[in-house]
Amino acid sequence: MSFLELKDLRIHFPTDDGLVRSVDGLSFSLERGRTLGIVGESGSGKSVTSLGILGLHKGGRARISGEIWLDGEELVGASQEHVRRLRGKKMAMIFQDPLSAMHPFYTVGDQIIEAYRIHNDVSKKVARKHAVDMLGRVGIPQPDRRVDSYPHEFSGGMRQRAMIAMALSCDPELLIADEPTTALDVTVQAQILDLMRDLQRDFDAALIIITHDLGVVAELSDDILVMYGGKCVEYGTSEDIFERPEHPYTWGLLGSMPRLDREPTERLLPIKGSPPSLINVPSGCAFHPRCVFEERTGGLAKVEVPELLESEGGHLVRCHLPAERRRAIWQKEVKPNLEAS
């Protein structure tokens, strides 16, 4: 069994408007030392998935089923208290907005010290030394002085570094970063991604990076899971996804990837329409109302949910088009189009 394994995870929220199927049958596995990128547009269920792994929906109104195995332990059925103890010790999270995850009235150092001492029986002095080390490690200059700063005294990029230090201070075996660079400008984004790559090497954790932007995970991920409407629509190695993608939605994401040589707002080949409501998910293939190739499945896409099937060597695709046809469309129609634009 892998270090982390999700099996048919479902996280649904009953609301006044109906049942929100935020995560609807998600399975994947991840080993320590590996990085998985989870990519999809806003509202595809990425954050709900990460909060679910960390047990943060427990005690709320979410209906959760399926299995989450972490290092041989099943977490969906585990008590809230037990999963709370694992957080910070075995698994940690980096959020998009460090300010929301940090307390404004305590210094950055005190927050790292406190987080560290919950799980480590050490003196305040030792914990402080550790906090300074961690801040230095994530590239904060003069860490022995900055340790006494308050979060608002840091720039956005430095705050994100501090949160990474906080998350790593307990040496987690699973680290989930949810849109860790979305709030940052492009230059700082690149620095934070570099930092995460270095830390990943040193810490040997299993790392999940969640993003709406394929560009962010391009160089960082070993494997990539593309999510649409609460489901995985394509999964493969980074090479599978960038060199031989087979799902029309992935083609759309590749086409709409912001590129350094263009204005960030300029989309090459935008995916038409908008992401589905997770209360009234479209019938059949959830992507069919937006899919350029929908007619080629002879009406099947409107009525039958495609299964997630193996295309080749662990590369999984959820689409009714036969694999050979998808590959031909990619080679002859989509790829030349992307290269030309």
Least distance in Å: CB of 202 to Mg ion?
27
Of the two residues 173 and 294, which places its CB atom closer to ligand SF4 in the complex? 294
Least distance in Å: CB of 22 to ligand ADP?
3
Residue 319, interface with ligand SF4 (CB under 6 A)? yes
Tell me the C-alpha distance between 205 and 151, whole Å: 26
206 by DSSP, 3-state: which? strand
Site string for ligand ADP, 6-35 (x = CB under 6 A): -------x-x----x-x-------------
Of the two residues 87 and 326, which places its CB atom closer to ligand SF4 in the complex? 326
Of the two residues 149 and 221, which places its CB atom closer to ligand ADP in the complex? 221
Task: Write out the binding residues for ligand ADP, residues 250-279 only, by CB under 6 A.
Answer: 278
Size of the site for ligand SF4 (CB under 6 A): 13
**CB under 5 to 8 A by kind: which of Mg ion, ligand ADP, ligand SF4, none does 301 bind?**
ligand SF4
Tell me the C-alpha distance between 86 and 264, whole Å: 39
**CB under 5 to 8 A by kind: which of ligand SF4, Mg ion, ligand ADP, none does 236 bind?**
none
Size of the site for Mg ion (CB under 5 A): 2
Q: Which stretch binds ligand ADP (CB under 6 A): 36-44, 122-130, 151-159, 241-249?
A: 36-44
Least distance in Å: CB of 163 to ligand ADP?
18
Of the two residues 20 and 241, which places its CB atom closer to ligand ADP in the complex? 20
Comparing CA positions, the residue from 41, 32, 321 lying closest to residue 179 is: 41
Task: Write out the binding residues for ligand SF4, residues 222-251 only, by CB under 6 A.
Answer: 248
Residue 47, interface with Mg ion (CB under 5 A)? yes
- Chain-centre distance of CA 316, in angstroms? 18
Of the two residues 170 and 257, which places its CB atom closer to ligand ADP in the complex? 257
Token output for 254: 């590749």
Name, in order, each residue with C-beta under 8 angstroms of 144's C-beta and a sequence gap of 6 or more: 132
Contact, 320 vs 300, CB < 8 A? Answer: yes
Tell me the C-alpha distance between 98 and 163, whole Å: 6
Least distance in Å: CB of 241 to ligand ADP?
17
Comparing CA positions, the residue from 117, 142, 141, 139 lying closest to residue 130 is: 117
Q: Which of 4, 26, 37, 40 binds ligand ADP (CB under 6 A)?
A: 40
Phi first, then psi: give them for residue 183, nearest 5 degrees. Answer: -85, 0
**CB under 5 to 8 A by kind: which of Mg ion, ligand ADP, ligand SF4, none does 44 bind?**
ligand ADP
Token output for 13: 């929220």
Site string for ligand SF4, 271-310 (x = CB under 6 A): --------------x-xx--x-xx--x---x----x----
* DSSP assignment letter at 307: P
Contact, 152 vs 105, CB < 8 A? Answer: no
Tell me the C-alpha distance between 278 and 103, whole Å: 33
Greatest distance between any 2 Cα atoms in the chain: 69
Least distance in Å: CB of 237 to Mg ion?
24
Q: How many residues does the chain have?
A: 341
Beta carbons within 10 angstroms of residue 3's beta carbon: 18
Least distance in Å: CB of 11 to ligand SF4?
23
Q: Please identify the residue of the shown chain whose CB is closest to the bound Mg ion.
A: 47
Dihedral sign of CA atoms 180, 281, 250, 36 in order: positive
Q: How far is CA 30 from CA 221, 308, 310, in A?
A: 12, 18, 17
Q: Which residues bind ligand ADP (CB under 6 A)?
A: 13, 15, 20, 22, 40, 42-48, 278
